[in-house]
Amino acid sequence: MPSSFFSLPKRLSAAPAAGRRRALALLLPLLIGGSLAQAQTELSGLDKIQASGVLKVAVYKDNAPFSDGPADAMTGLDIELATALARQMKLKLALLPFDAGERMNDDLRNMVWRGHYLGYGPADVMLHVPVDKYLINENRQALIFAPYMRQVQVLLRDTAVIPEAIRTPEDLKGVKLAAERGTGSAGALMGHQSGELVSQVSLYNTGVQAAQAVLDGKVAAAYVMRSQAENALAQTPSESRHWAMSELPLTGLPPNGWPLGMAIKSGASKDLGQALEKALQALRDSGELLAIFKHNGMTLTAP
């Protein structure tokens, strides 16, 4: 150990031997404790997570079919994925459910790199993050990576009411429609041609509920995510089905949808991102990721 690592003040070195021994006895616990605290502070990223034995994963509340239900009993694809990732990394899972903010930037700030002003977060990793160049450029404090699926808008229609595939939005005139409140899909549908369809659209709290409205005969079609439509269909007896899905591009929405991945703090160690990517790839290779999608009634789409 270098001699400069531990040196007593001059007034202590000039004190009698007994006094120096007493001073040393009092000072050592402080120095040792300080060294331990510094070592713990220097742990970051994967090392810190492994030391705690817990992977903290941020998931959205009220986001069926991905993460929904009471905080202590949430279900959905993202919940199962988080559980599988933690297990692959030999860690316990701790979920951090949160309410969606006004913008994705708010969610990344609150749950990935800074923490919420109410005192919760950030998590080690956040799921259900669009892997989008614009979002990435706007949020340098977060590393967005590892896509695990692709979100695509579809029109779910009752073939007893609309037997032919819809080619343009004009083909929807005069029929009852459904969409999820507050989403880009709902905005694009109601905003088409300066609102020519707005009076036909009923809004539901979730896309699954909007899709279910088609299955219940309340509306003729719903413009929702494929994952939401598939989840609703999976809960319906196959022998009674008379529905179909097809893509319907609308102005203002990406025609090919967008990939969903995860995000960690940019300052986190590279080891954490690599460990998450390795765990996700292991789930793909083993077929477990496919099984998770099937269990939730969804198609595993290439990101």
Grouping H, G, I as helix, E, B as strand and the rest as coil, residue 261 is strand
CATH 3.40.190.10 residue ranges of the chain are: 46-149+260-295, 153-246
Which strand ranges, in their side-by-side order, compose the sheet holding 153-158? 201-204, 177-180, 221-225, 153-158, 243-246
pTM: 0.82
pLDDT at 267: 81
**Averaged pLDDT of the chain:** 87
Q: Give Cα 147 distance to the centre of its chain.
A: 11
pLDDT at 269: 76
The answer to whether the CB of 243 falls within 8 A of the CB of 156 is: yes
Determine the CATH number of domain 46-149+260-295.
Answer: 3.40.190.10
* Assigned fold of 153-246: D-Maltodextrin-Binding Protein; domain 2 (3.40.190)
Which range is least confidently modeled, 47-56, 148-157, 205-214, 264-273?
Answer: 264-273
Q: How far apart are CA 103 and CA 266, in angstroms?
A: 19
pLDDT at 116: 87
Tell me the per-residue pLDDT of 200-245, one tens digit each, with 9 for 90 and over.
999 999 999 999 999 999 999 999 999 999 999 998 876 667 899 9
Grouping H, G, I as helix, E, B as strand and the rest as coil, residue 295 is helix
Q: Which two tokens stand for residue 107?
A: 């969610």
Comparing C-alpha atoms, which of 54, 81, 55, 95 is closest to residue 283? 81
Extract the runs of DSSP E, i.e. beta strands, from the chain. 54-60, 92-98, 125-130, 142-151, 153-158, 177-180, 201-204, 221-225, 243-246, 258-265
pLDDT at 15: 45
Q: How far apart are CA 31 and CA 17, in angstroms?
A: 20
Mean pLDDT of the 262-274 span:
91
Q: Give Cα 18 distance to the centre of its chain.
A: 61
